[in-house]
């Protein structure tokens, strides 16, 4: 069977070092900050992530856009020309139209390359949750799974991938339509921190509210305690919106409670950070259910 390439986008929030180690390909995604367009590459060649969050804190406005079909055609075709198949793990269709763009490109390319195989997987995941799924897929490939077997494994395990978030400023969620203007104003005044997760359809859903930053971090741990599959040997991912100290605090809580193999901490890039804002902490692990 032919070799295949695992592809994702920069929303997976994997570091360039990890991408090189895993041997995957990552498509950049576009965002605008104060009307100027940028591409978010994992090596942050166009904008440093710390700078991005500092500019958000100063009140600059950011918007994002999906990857269009033409970009997929340009990215996928050289791989097919090289005689390899493709496994593409996409940003949640519940949060972006990117996955649908990939399906249109797949259909067009398979008419031209009749012997090729392209599997597009809707991760129903975001941020380093998508990254954890990609990381796990690479490990399964290293175990010897072929393209079809790995596609099947992903479909069977996507809904076991748990996402739990807390944000520091409700106004970013307000702009994205996740909370009302009234709730954002009251929440900010009362130091209320929402706890959110990604549901089975890949949508970001508010679940509860707690008072204070430390309580919100403990709440993330509590959800891991409630839903984590056997933690021994798991690799856990934590994403942060330019607040590494809080991410490390949560990692220490997890190490005290669970015998995990490793905890990987990465910053949340501009694509997700546009909507979650500075100070976000996100926890990702495999559980019994989402």
The tens digit of pLDDT for each residue in 264-273 reads 999 999 999 9
- Which of 110, 127, 158 delimits the end of a domain? 158
pTM across the whole model? 0.94
Q: Which of 198, 194, 167 is nearest to 287 (CA)?
A: 198
Same domain flag for 99 and 13: yes
Same domain flag for 148 and 165: no
Alpha helices in the chain (DSSP H): 16-22, 49-57, 69-81, 98-112, 127-142, 147-157, 170-175, 181-189, 213-227, 244-257, 270-276
Across 68-75, average pLDDT: 98
Q: Which two tokens stand for residue 246?
A: 């809080």
Domain CATH number, residue 114: 3.40.50.10170
Same domain flag for 15 and 94: yes
Structural contact between residues 287 and 231, judged by C-beta atoms closer than 8 angstroms: no
CA end-to-end distance (rounded Å), the chain: 34
The tens digit of pLDDT for each residue in 186-236 reads 445 567 888 999 999 998 888 888 999 999 999 999 999 999 998 889 999
pLDDT value at position 187? 46
pLDDT at 177 over 80: no
């Amino acid at each position: 069977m032919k070799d295949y390439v695992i592809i994702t986008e920069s929303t997976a929030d994997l570091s360039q070092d990890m991408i090189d180690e895993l041997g995957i390909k990552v498509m950049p995604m576009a965002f605008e900050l104060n009307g100027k367009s940028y591409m978010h590459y994992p090596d942050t060649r166009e904008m440093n992530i710390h700078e991005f969050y500092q500019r958000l804190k100063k009140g600059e406005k950011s918007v994002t856009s999906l990857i269009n079909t033409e970009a997929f055609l340009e990215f996928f075709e050289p791989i097919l020309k090289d005689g390899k198949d493709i496994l593409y793990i996409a940003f949640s269709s519940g949060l972006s139209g990117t996955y649908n763009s990939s399906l249109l490109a797949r259909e067009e390319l398979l008419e031209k390359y009749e012997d090729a195989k392209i599997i597009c997987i809707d991760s129903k995941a975001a941020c380093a949750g998508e990254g954890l799924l990609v990381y796990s897929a690479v490990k399964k490939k290293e175990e010897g799974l072929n393209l079809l077997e790995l596609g099947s494994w992903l479909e069977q395990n996507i809904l076991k991938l748990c996402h739990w978030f807390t944000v520091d400023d409700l106004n970013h969620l307000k702009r994205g339509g996740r909370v009302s203007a009234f709730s954002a104003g009251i929440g900010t005044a009362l130091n209320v921190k929402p706890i959110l997760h990604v549901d089975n359809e890949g949508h970001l859903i508010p679940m509860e509210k707690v008072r204070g930053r430390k309580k919100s971090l403990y709440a993330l741990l509590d959800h891991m305690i409630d839903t984590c599959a056997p933690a021994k040997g798991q690799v856990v991912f934590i994403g942060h919106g330019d607040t590494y100290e809080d991410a490390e605090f949560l990692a220490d809580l997890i190490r005290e409670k669970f015998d995990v193999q490793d905890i990987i901490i990465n910053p949340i890039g501009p694509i997700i950070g546009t909507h979650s804002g500075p100070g976000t902490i996100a926890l990702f692990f495999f559980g019994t259910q989402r």
